[in-house]
Amino acid sequence: MQNAENEEILRKILRAIGDVPRNVYSPSDDTFLMLDALAKVPVEGKKVLDVGTGSGILSLFCAARGAHVTATDVNELCLQTAQKAARALGLSIRVILSDLFSNVQDQFDVIIFNPPYLPSSTIEDRAVDGGPDGTALSKRFLRSLADHLERYGTALLLVTSLSDAASLFSAGIPQFQYEVMAKRSLFFEELKVLSVRFRDNLAR
Ligand SMILES: C[S@@+](CC[C@H](N)C(=O)[O-])C[C@H]1O[C@@H](n2cnc3c(N)ncnc32)[C@H](O)[C@@H]1O
């Protein structure tokens, strides 16, 4: 992260989160790449939805920069962890137990999702297992995105070279276009954050 102010915000957030419970995803390389991408998005005064919040780190980073944040997860412990850190930081976020958008009604200016994306024959760990080609949840996310993204909104979606990211946009979601906002090569994979927007005139 290049901006000193953002780095300071992040240090405070990491301190407030502390050691996460065993079943909560601990901020990792993918999380930090998402933060790099998020730092480039103006979120002050914007409605932000953080799908699969985990420790709450992405939500807290947006809330600290003046966004109105809703955080979801299928794991209640994640929501408790995020709320606890928000209270410690004096920030306010709304949390919703939800399978993707199932319990979410509103539309948002910015929607972020660092999904479970590891190719896996079965879903044993919901924090990381993404089904046979790693894209099952991301595809479901993209299929419902149009109902929740504002007309000029942006979604940030993390993808990995380990899964077939190109197939994500092939069928069924012609209303979206995407570009790569941030990327990082790791030892065994390349991670990318895609910024996803409606194609001109194709909202909803
Ligand atoms: C890779 S972790 C990312 C956590 C956090 N956003 C971060 O960047 O560090 C994926 C998160 O998605 C959550 N998750 C898994 N399936 C989900 C679903 N169907 N709906 C909402 N969240 C889900 C997991 O519980 C986990 O917290």
Instruction: Quick: pLDDT tens for 146-178.
Output: 999 999 999 999 998 877 666 777 756 778 888
Q: Which of 54-63, 117-126, 177-186 has the highest mean pLDDT?
A: 54-63
* Confidence at 7, pLDDT banded by 50, 70, 90: very high
Chain Cα centroid distance, residue 23: 18
CA dihedral over 46, 104, 58, 189, signed as positive or negative? negative
* Confidence at 201, pLDDT banded by 50, 70, 90: low
Query: With 90 as the cut, is the pLDDT of residue 46 above it?
Result: yes
Q: Quick one: pLDDT at residue 172?
A: 60
Query: With 90 as the cut, is the pLDDT of residue 128 above it?
Result: no
Amino acid at 85: A
115 and 54 Cβ atoms separated by less than 8 Å: no
Across 81-115, b (16+ Cβ under 10 Å) vs e yields bbbebbeebebebbbbebebbeebeebbbbbbbbb
Token pair in block for residue 1? 């992260």
Q: Output the ligand 1 site: residues, CB below 6 A.
A: 25, 27, 31, 34, 51-55, 57-58, 72-75, 78, 99-100, 114-116, 126-128, 137
Residues in the chain: 204
Nearest to 165 by CA among 150, 183, 186: 183
184 and 33 Cβ atoms separated by less than 8 Å: yes
Contacts of 156 (CB under 8 A, 6+ apart): 34, 37, 38, 41, 110, 111, 112, 113, 181, 193, 194, 195, 196
Nearest-CA residue for ligand 1 atom 13 is: 52
Rounded distance from Cα 28 to ligand 1 centre (Å) = 12
Query: With 90 as the cut, is the pLDDT of residue 132 above it?
Result: no
β-strand 68-73 against 47-51: which pairing, if any?
A: parallel
Structure pTM? 0.94
Strands across the sheet with 47-51, in order?
93-97, 68-73, 47-51, 108-113, 149-160, 190-198, 176-185
Q: Quick one: pLDDT at residue 107?
A: 97
Average pLDDT of the chain? 91
Q: Work out the number of other CB atoms within 10 angstroms of the CB of residue 184.
A: 14
Rounded distance from Cα 54 to ligand 1 centre (Å) = 5
Task: Please give the average per-residue pLDDT across 87-93, as a whole number.
Answer: 97
